[in-house]
Amino acid sequence: MKTQNKSILVTGGGSGIGYAIAKAFAGNGNKLILVGRTEERLKTAAASLPNTTYIVADITNETAVAQLAEKVKAQGGLDILVNNAGTGVAYQLLQGEPVVQNARYEMEINYFSVLNVIEQFLPVLKESKEAAIINIQSVVSYLPSLVLPTYSPTKAALHSYSQSLRVALQRSAPQIQVYEVFPPLVDTDLVKDFDSPKLSPQVVANDILKAVQENNFNVRSGLTNDIYQLYRQSPDQALAALNSLEA
C-alpha cells in the first residue's frame, strides 16, 4: 500500500520502537499522532517530527480509548493504526514469583487493550480507501522465552488474533490490511537489563515501512527470521536456540 499522505496513529509513540516507527513514516505528507501516558515524553517526540501531534491516553482505559477514537475521527480520520504499546515482566517460573498477577497485568496491556483499541478504531479505518493495522508482537509469538514466561503467551495470543482478524477483514473490509511485526530483542527500556545482543529500533521501523510498501504482512527482523526458519523445520530445536539450551 502507499505510505504517503496518510494519517497514522502510534500507541506507545513517545519512545522506543513506537517513536522509531513514527520517525520512519514521517514526512511524505503523512500526519502522525503519537499516543501514550507520559506527556513530556510525547511532547518531546512530537516536536522532533514534522506534522506530528500527540494525545495523552491510557489504552487500558476503555472510556479513554473510546474518546481517543472519537477525537481522531473528528480530526479527519485514520489510515494506519500501529499497536505498539506493551509491557513485560522478566522472571522465571518456579521461583516464587506472582505468576497469575504478572500474567493478568501483561495480558491486560499486551492483548485485551490492543483488541479494544482495534474494535474502537475499526469504524474509523473502514472510512479510509486504503488502511492498515500494524500489531507489534515478538519472536516469542512463535516460541516462549523462559525469562518472559507470561509475556510470551500474550504475544502468542495477539498473533492468533491478528491472523483471524486478517482473514475476517479480507472477507468484509479488504481495504484494511493487517500486518504483524515479530522483532527479536530490541534496544529499548523494556529490555535494558537483558545482557543479550539487541537490534536497533530504527532497523525494525525501517523493515516495517518497507513491508507495508510491499504488502508483506509478516515482518521478521534480525534473529527472528533465523528462529522462524528453524521453527518451521524443528520446533524443539528452535525453542532450544531461542533459550540458549542444548538441543
* Distance in angstroms (rounded) separating the CA atoms of residues 216 and 227: 19
CA proximity to 70, closest of 125, 17, 121: 121
DSSP state of 31: E
Q: E strands, 86-175, where?
A: 131-136
Adjacent-strand bridge partners of 81? 9, 133
Q: Which amino acids are annotated catalytic?
A: 151
Burial readout 177-211 (b: 16 or more C-beta within 10 A, e: otherwise) = bbbbbbbbbbbbebbeeeeeebbebbebbbbbeeb
